[in-house]
Amino acid sequence: RKEVEQDPGPFNVPEGATVAFNCTYSNSASQSFFWYRQDCRKEPKLLMSVYSSGNEDGRFTAQLNRASQYISLLIRDSKLSDSATYLCVVNANPFSSYKLIFGSGTRLLVRP
Amino acid sequence: NAGVTQTPKFRILKIGQSMTLQCAQDMNHNYMYWYRQDPGMGLKLIYYSVGAGITDKGEVPNGYNVSRSTTEDFPLRLELAAPSQTSVYFCATHKEQASYEQYFGPGTRLTVT
């Protein structure tokens, strides 16, 4: 089983739609979770952290379900500029917090 | 500030050749990383460094070597290039207390034929 699994997509949605991605992780000891965004042929960039209580940043909402070991990202009112690949990222080892495990990403295409 | 810079942007190597991928950061961060990203795959950690003079293996170190003689530079050396090393290579760094926010360089696209 992969350490971090994501549906590769692509999710093809119209502008203004709401779209949600899930990600599952295998290591129950993982403590930190993040979503990164990667534009085509560019480097990844941090989108947001995922907190246990859930957190929101504008049109983006991230949630964590520790019992089921999954993380979600909800995007409301999708914009054309949201088209990208979204990487689910998990801290690999609580004793070496700087090592991150990256999922292979979910591709989002927002059409006019 | 340039952030994290990588050279070259693109390179084609023949099987068995060697090369060094350069990475430099001007943020004075101790932590630096090398990842590779194959098409449709997540980033895999090759090597990392927690400060000048200190390096350690990541998940996929075979076929690579690194050195860290200064805080700024973290070159990645490929010896005897193989087609399996065709990938996009990213260098990254982060602040001491914010390991989750890694700043990546623009990447080096390497093809080995």
Residue B98, pLDDT score: 67
Mean pLDDT, all residues of chain B: 93
Spatial CA neighbour of A38 closest among A61, A70, A6: A6
B6, B31, B71, B77, B80 from B62: Cα distances, Å: 21, 21, 24, 11, 11
CA distance B14 to chain A (A): 23
Which position has the higher pLDDT, A15 or A27? A15
Cβ–Cβ of B50/A98 closer than 8 Å? yes
Residue B87, pLDDT score: 97
Task: Say what percent of chain A tops pLDDT 90.
Answer: 78
Distance CA A90, CA A101 (A): 5
Cβ–Cβ of B31/A98 closer than 8 Å? yes
CA distance A103 to chain B (A): 5
Q: How does pLDDT run across B84-96, given as a tens digit for each residue? A: 999 999 999 988 7
CA distance B17 to chain A (A): 25
Asked if residues B42 and A87 have their Cβ atoms less than 8 Å apart, the reply is yes
Mean pLDDT, all residues of chain A: 91
Interface of B with A in 50-79 (CB under 8 A): 50, 58
Average pLDDT of span B35-61:
92
Cβ–Cβ of A101/B94 closer than 8 Å? no
CB of B47 less than 8 A from some CB of A: no
Which residues lie closer than 8 Å to B56 by C-beta, 6 or more apart?
Answer: B47, B48, B49, B50
Q: Assess whether pLDDT exceeds 70 at residue A97.
A: no
CB of A87 less than 8 A from some CB of B: yes
Cβ–Cβ of B41/A104 closer than 8 Å? yes
CA distance B41 to chain A (A): 4
Q: Which of B9, B31, B43 to mutate to test the interface with A (most CBs of A within 10 A)?
A: B43
Q: Place B2 in a pLDDT band, splitting at 50, 70 and 90.
A: confident
Cβ–Cβ of B100/A34 closer than 8 Å? yes
Q: Place B15 in a pLDDT band, splitting at 50, 70 and 90.
A: very high
Q: How does pLDDT run across A40-66, given as a tens digit for each residue? A: 999 999 999 898 888 999 999 999 999
From chain A, pick out residues whose CB is under 8 angstroms from the CB of B97: none
Residue B1, pLDDT score: 65
Q: Assess whether pLDDT exceeds 70 at residue A70.
A: yes
